[in-house]
Amino acid sequence: MIHVREITKIYGKTLAIRDVSFQVERGEILGLLGPNGAGKTTTIRILTCHTPPTSGTATVAGFDVGTQSLEVRRRIGYMPETAGLYEDMTVSSFLNFTAEIKGLDRTRQKKCVGAVLDRLNLESVSHRLIRNLSRGYRQRVGLAQALVADPEVLILDEPTVGLDPAQIREIRSLVTSMAGEKTVILSTHILPEVAAVCSRIAIINLGRIAAVGSPGELSRKYAPESRIAVLADGERELLQRALENIRGVVRVALQENAIRQKGLLFHLDIESPGDIRDMIPATVQETGGRLLEVYSMGATLEEVYMKAIMGEKEDVVSRLQA
């Protein structure tokens, strides 16, 4: 659905992004993850035909962002980072305006605006001026204008910045509900957000793509060690030693600060992709302890992210040295 091939953007003398390539398939939710200033917004602005790339090509639904920009813009719903809204309009007149400018005829316009007001719970404020709305509502209005023409592609630049946890959940569940139906690119620097909603991740750092893949692929690639959590009741040192003796266990760490009612929580780092959960009940019983819980944690996205980004830095440093 979206193909980005080696796009580079230079602002004056500043290199914003370099040789960025990735693809997004129809119905996929791609998380564009990276620290602030990594080039997420630049990438998005190129895809939304706001700024053309210095070199490289990008296509959306087969249309080139440079030469067929109108066709691309017809298919995209875009929510900019700090959604600028017309403060002097009411929510419904603003949405009617965006529907109209996106080429919907009068009957579809009415239907679509009604649907999007309903979907984002904006009906109660539809006659209020945008100027007087709270942050959460404004953000929802920003999302509503992106969704109003029912676009095939949805591009959201930091959609949850400045929202409270309940609102963040709301927006995330909304995005998740569109999986399969719409192609979504969501940029963020918040890791749990990506973990919660995205089916694929592109990590971007220093203007370059550091890694692309599904969360599973990335954690296998960047954090081959996996982690098992064991919650058990018993003698602390005995348990620790017994767990350390299981074959394949690299490290056992007692989680002192974890919130729990009883028992001791250990994190076991294991080296191979093999699963050792079968062996844990017996091991704990041998020490005279009582096993409460065992579960596999996988590598956290945070580890993947840090490794990908650090790898990128080392790469740059070594290239500079060479």
The tokens describing 244, both together, are 């350390």
Q: Looking at residue 277, what DSSP letter applies?
A: G
Q: d(Cα 13, Cα 52) in Å, to the nearest integer? A: 16
Q: Which of 27, 86, 115, 300 binds another protein (CB under 8 A)?
A: 86
Q: How far is CA 270 from the centre of its chain?
A: 27
Alpha helical stretches, state H, 105-207: 106-119, 135-147, 165-177, 191-197
Whether the CB-CB separation of 198 and 22 falls below 8 Å is answered with no
Contacts of 29 (CB under 8 A, 6+ apart): 175, 176, 178, 179, 184, 186, 197, 198, 199, 200
199 binds another protein (CB under 8 A): no
Which CB atom, from 113 or from 280, has the smaller least distance to another protein?
Answer: 113
Q: d(Cα 199, Cα 217) in Å, to the nearest integer? A: 11
Which CB atom, from 90 or from 226, has the smaller least distance to another protein?
Answer: 90
Q: Which of 3, 5, 50, 251 binds another protein (CB under 8 A)?
A: 50
Give the contact letters, 140-159, x = binds to another protein (CB under 8 A), - = no. Answer: -----x--------------
Q: d(Cα 96, Cα 123) in Å, to the nearest integer? A: 14
83 binds another protein (CB under 8 A): yes
100 binds another protein (CB under 8 A): yes
Which CB atom, from 186 or from 194, has the smaller least distance to another protein?
Answer: 186
Burial group, residue 100, by CB count within 10 angstroms (0-12, 13-18, 19+):
middle
78 binds another protein (CB under 8 A): yes
Q: Of 236, 244, 242, 249, which is closest to residue 276 (Cα–Cα)?
A: 249
Which one of 41-49, 183-191, 232-240, 294-302 is the stretch in contact with another protein (CB under 8 A)? Answer: 41-49
Q: Which of 25, 55, 67, 101 binds another protein (CB under 8 A)?
A: 101
Q: Please state the closest distance from residue 195 (CB atom) to another protein, in A.
A: 28
107 binds another protein (CB under 8 A): no
Q: Please state the closest distance from residue 77 (CB atom) to another protein, in A.
A: 9
Which CB atom, from 107 or from 257, has the smaller least distance to another protein?
Answer: 107
Give the contact letters, 3-32, x = binds to another protein (CB under 8 A), - = no. Answer: ------x-x---------------------
Which CB atom, from 9 or from 182, has the smaller least distance to another protein?
Answer: 9
Residues pairing with 185 in the sheet: 30, 155
> Measured in Å, how far apart are the chain's first and last C-alpha atoms?
38
β-bridge pairing 29-33 and 14-24 = unpaired
Q: Please state the closest distance from residue 296 (CB atom) to another protein, in A.
A: 43
- For residues 214, 6, 67, 178, the Cα torsion angle rounded to the nearest 10 degrees is 10
**Given the rule CB under 8 A, which residues bind another protein?**
9, 11, 42, 45, 48-52, 70-71, 73-74, 76, 78, 80, 82-89, 93, 97-98, 100-103, 145
